[in-house]
């Protein structure tokens, strides 16, 4: 069992308050563009509130770290050939290990970051992963928006402004589609590439199956 962490109120939401979470916030702030840092903080606050509304038991530190660090794979320093979620998940797991977390907790953090943009899987995993994904989905696409009081949403957005997130996020993922297309063919970035990036063309997975080197 983990020790129940202390709490504080941030933007009208009761959140766990530990040194681990404080260091995750500092890491996210130092690594991320301001609009992405604010997105991550709003997502965490939404996840905490959804957990309270659902009465869902969970490891508050693990959920916090996964949510606060979920988009660090978009940072220039972490760019590489894989999906940005994988680079971010690897960095978040390294952070957890450096903080002395056991492998089970580190793996949950990795799963939360790696799967945050795949809700059709993440929402059915452990509570920490599912709640993190729900908070991120609420801030990113508005899913579950109706569950929260408008006044609370306004307070969260006022505390961590969106800073042109719709346009900025679109620009960032279009850069992935334009310059690292192989990392985008099996995830949501493909949608942005097909709509906004000239010459972008994802291969068909149907062709991969039918063209596999087997007779049937």
CB pairs under 8 A, 24+ apart, for 145-150?
A: 147/50, 147/53, 148/46, 148/49, 148/50, 148/53
CA distance to 15, 45, 65, 69, 95, per residue, from 4 (Å): 12, 18, 16, 22, 21
Stretch 95-102: mean pLDDT: 98
Looking at residue 5, its pLDDT comes to 55
Looking at residue 77, its pLDDT comes to 65
Residue 164, SS3? coil
pTM: 0.94
> How many Å apart are CA 107 and CA 117, to the nearest integer?
17
CA distance to 92, 113, 168, 197, per residue, from 34 (Å): 18, 19, 10, 24
Residue-wise pLDDT for 160-209, tens only, equals: 999 999 999 999 999 999 999 999 999 999 999 999 999 999 999 999 99
Looking at residue 9, its pLDDT comes to 96
Q: Which residue has the tokens 């002395």?
A: 100
Looking at residue 2, its pLDDT comes to 43
- 3-state helix/strand/coil string of 59-98: CHHHHHHHHHCCCHHHCHHHCCCCCHHHHHHHHHHHHHHH
> Are 109 and 58 a contacting pair, CB within 8 Å?
no
> How many Å apart are CA 66 and CA 130, to the nearest integer?
11
**177 sits in which H/E element:** helix 165-179
Residue-wise pLDDT for 2-25, tens only, equals: 434 599 999 999 999 999 999 999
All domains in the chain, ordered by first residue: 6-162 (1.10.3210), 164-216 (no CATH)
Residue-wise pLDDT for 44-96, tens only, equals: 999 999 999 999 999 999 999 999 999 999 987 677 889 999 999 999 999 99
């Amino acid at each position: 069992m983990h020790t129940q962490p202390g709490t504080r109120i941030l933007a009208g939401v009761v959140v766990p308050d530990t040194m681990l979470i404080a260091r995750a916030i500092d890491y996210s702030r130092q690594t991320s563009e301001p609009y992405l840092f604010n997105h991550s903080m709003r997502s965490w606050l939404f996840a905490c509130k959804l957990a309270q509304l659902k009465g869902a038991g969970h490891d508050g530190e693990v959920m916090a770290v996964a949510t606060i660090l979920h988009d660090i794979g978009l940072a220039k320093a972490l760019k590489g050939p894989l999906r940005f979620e994988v680079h971010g998940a690897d960095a978040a797991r390294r952070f957890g290990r450096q903080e002395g977390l056991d492998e089970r907790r580190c793996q949950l953090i990795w799963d939360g970051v790696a799967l945050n943009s795949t809700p059709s899987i993440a929402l059915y995993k452990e509570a920490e992963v599912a709640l993190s994904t729900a908070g991120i989905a609420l801030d990113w696409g508005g899913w579950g928006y109706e569950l929260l009081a408008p006044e609370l949403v306004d307070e969260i957005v006022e505390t961590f402004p969106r800073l042109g997130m719709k346009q900025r996020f679109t620009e960032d993922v279009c850069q992935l589609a334009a310059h690292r297309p192989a990392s985008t063919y099996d995830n949501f970035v493909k949608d942005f590439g097909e709509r906004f990036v000239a010459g972008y063309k994802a291969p068909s997975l149907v062709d991969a199956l039918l063209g596999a080197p087997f007779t049937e």
